[in-house]
Each structure stands twice: as structure tokens, then as C-alpha cells.
Amino acid sequence: MLVLARKIGERILIGEEVEVTIISVRGDQVRIGIAAPAEVNICRAELAHQVRCENAAAARGAWAVREAASAALKPARDAADNDTRVHAPRSVRAIRERRRARQ
């Protein structure tokens, strides 16, 4: 593992496109800012592990359901019979308002 010492406000570049900034240090807690392209997932490592495991379990379970499911539960081969629309959301918190408030 590469270990670097950095001061508050200093940055680290990972590859060409991922930039990490040290925002603040208080006691044993460090706040960091990360700028990265959209193809990069960023989240706390322990949560990522938990979600990876859950996704794997979900895929196994769905495959088992597919085996057990009667024809009625399987999608039609003719697209016209499949409702593939994505429905409108009901509660994504107001992104725009939050941004406005911050500015």
C-alpha cells in the first residue's frame, strides 16, 4: 500500500481522473472530498462489501425463482406484452432545492 502524508487542503490524484482532497481532521476523524468520473462508484468500503454480498445473494435467489416460476410470471417474448416502462418516482429528495440552498 502506498502511504502518503498530506495536510488539510492538499490533494492526491489517483490515475488521471480521481482526485482526493483532505478537507479537515478532527480527533480520529478525517473528512475527505473525492472527485471522480461517473463510471466510478464511491462509498464506504464496509458498506460496499455488504452490498456486493447482498447482490450476489439476490442474483442466486432470482435464478432459483426463475426455475420455480410458472409461465405466468415470466415475461412475454413479444415486447408489446411487456410493460418495461419505468414508473415515476415518489420520493427522491429535492436535489435541486438542496443545491440552491447551498449556494
Partner 1 sequence: MRVATAFGEVDIPDEVVLHFPAGIYGFPQLRRGCLLPYGATSGLRWLQSLDEPSLVFLTVEPYLVFPGYEADLPEYDAEALELTAPSEAAIVTLVTISAESEAVTTNLLAPIVINTRTRCARQIVLDSDCYLTRHLIGGEIKDDFHAGLSAEDW
Binding segment for partner 1 among 1-9, 13-21, 23-31, 64-72 (CB under 8 A)? Answer: 64-72
Cα separation values, 16 from 23, 28, 40, 44, Å: 21, 29, 13, 22
Residue of 83, 100, 101, 103 interacting with partner 1 (CB under 8 A): 83
14 lines the binding site for partner 1 (CB under 8 A)? no
| Residue 66: CB minimum distance to partner 1, A | 5
Sign of CA dihedral 75, 80, 83, 89: positive
Q: What are 58's three cell numbers? A: 439476490
49, 57 contact by CB (below 8 A): no
Q: Of the two residues 7 and 92, which places its CB atom closer to partner 1 in the complex?
A: 92
| Residue 45: CB minimum distance to partner 1, A | 11
